[in-house]
Amino acid sequence: MSDRIYLTKEELNKIIQELKYLKSIGRSKIAKDISDAREKGDLSENAEYHAAKEAQAHHEMKIFSLEKKIRNIKIIDTDKIDYSKVCITSQVTIMNLDNKKCMTYRIVSDNSIDTKKNTISFKSPIGKNILHKKVNDIVNVNTPSGILKFKILSISK
């Protein structure tokens, strides 16, 4: 059984829009590419035809994958979240107690990770250890280089 995927309503809507596009315009474009390639003659030696059929297989796999993902989604209602504790969608500022360096991350599901936006998964070593903690809590995070201690400085929406 697949793991539950936690997304906001907005993130789910993006996936639904992508799926609609793939099922309509995407499928039509691939069908046209296959038809155009088929008109070019002998299918056994037609590279364009084989490439279009391969693109079709990848396209259908993407549709299948998105449909499967949608079945496993749990919507996070951001209006009902208690931000007194770290949770998915929280923005958290933590301080490494060894070097006094501060970092701010947004806690997200695996599907929403974007390093440019300083997001980390709730399943990552830091995310796992700070989840459900409060401001001023100190957490130990196992890393390949040893245990790091972090203090939670702030939690926000």
Q: pTM for this structure?
A: 0.69
pLDDT by position in tens, the chain (length 157): 457 788 888 889 999 999 999 999 999 999 999 998 888 877 777 888 889 999 999 999 999 999 998 998 888 887 888 889 999 889 999 999 999 999 999 999 877 788 888 999 998 999 999 999 999 999 999 988 899 999 999 999 8
Would you call 39 helix, strand, or coil by DSSP?
A: coil
The answer to whether 120 and 108 are in contact (CB under 8 A) is yes
3-state secondary structure of 40: coil
Q: Give the residue from 124, 118, 116 showing the smallest Cα distance to 106.
A: 118
Domains detected in the chain:
5-76 (1.10.287.180), 78-156 (3.10.50.30)
In the three-class reduction of DSSP (H, G, I as helix; E, B as strand; rest coil), residue 25 is classed as helix
